[in-house]
Amino acid sequence: MPIKSINQDKCTACLQCYKDCPASCFVLNEDKNQVIYDKRQSCILCGHCIAICPHDAINYKNLKDEPITFQGVQNPQELIPYKTLHEFLMAKRSIRQYKKKKVPKNDLDKILNTMRYAPTASNVRSLKCRIISNEKKIKELSEAIVNALLSSPNVPKLYKNVLKRRLDYHDDIIFYEAPHIIIVHSQNLSDMTNATICITYGMLAAQTLGLGTCWIGLAFEVLRSDKKIRTELAGILDKVLGVFTLGYSETKYYRTPPRPPLKVEGLEELD
């Protein structure tokens, strides 16, 4: 178990780890003045005890990473004002025209580094990413996906006609000739929500680096259901949970399109 114990020389029994642990791994001694790590409980490795301890008193090992402290970690609202974040999100567009330019590996590393901080249910961390950057491979995959969609009895005729029309003005109507596609996969189908959040983190990180992205639900549907395309063309044996394109946008957007308000109930109670 990576969490080993509490360093009692450092611990001031502030009880923060005891109160914050979602798996109730900490107990109090009989006099209720000392916190003890109960090894019999099932730690879910969320690391909250490490994060919350003001005195760095949690002993652990084998977490495959080290805690990081930085200015703003205690007051995240100071890192990014609401208006900046809101406008950043409003300005995010799904990019469907890409420059023929690869993303430097260093920037890909940054995006992947952000993705690993996405929350996961029960703290299970089993997501994997397959990056495909070979132009020929992307084209092959795109064509196989188009053929699968056009021949599928499950795709409505109306939608097939839309796809065919798009073939008139896009060589690649699936990945839009993006220089990279990123496929998130896992052995666990229960990772679906985790993958969705993880991809969203990656897309937002990409935008800070001047890069554009687009969710590719069409590719997801085919890769999820067609074993031959998934294994032979994408080289993935796991379950595919999400797909997005990545690259430099060829376009600019001058305004955020209208978005209707969310249907909300309960807000009026706060008047």
Question: Per-residue contact track with ligand FMN, 90 to 109, x per CB under 6 A?
Answer: ---xx-x-------------
Q: How far is CA 263 from the centre of its chain?
A: 26
User: Which residue matches tokens 């706060």?
Assistant: 270
| 25 vs 223, beta carbon nearer ligand FMN | 223
Contact between 216 and ligand FMN (CB under 6 A)? yes
Size of interface with ligand FMN, in residues (CB under 6 A): 8
Contact between 218 and ligand FMN (CB under 6 A)? yes
Containing 36, the helix (H) or strand (E) segment is strand 35-37
Residues 6+ away with beta carbon under 8 Å from 127: 120, 184, 185, 186, 191, 194, 195, 198, 241
CB 158 within 8 A of CB 173: no
Residue choice 108, 211, 214, 222 for contact with ligand FMN (CB under 6 A): 214
176: left (phi over 0), alpha (psi -120 to 50) or beta: left
| 25 vs 243, beta carbon nearer ligand FMN | 243
Question: Per-residue contact track with ligand FMN, 166 to 205, x per CB under 6 A?
Answer: ----------------------------------------
Contact between 35 and ligand FMN (CB under 6 A)? no
Contact between 146 and ligand FMN (CB under 6 A)? no
Closest distance to ligand FMN from the beta carbon of 7 (Å): 45
Local structure of 196: helix, strand or coil: helix
CA 40 to CA 62: how far, in whole Å? 18
Closest distance to ligand FMN from the beta carbon of 243 (Å): 8
Binding residues for ligand FMN, rule: CB under 6 A, are 93-94, 96, 214-218
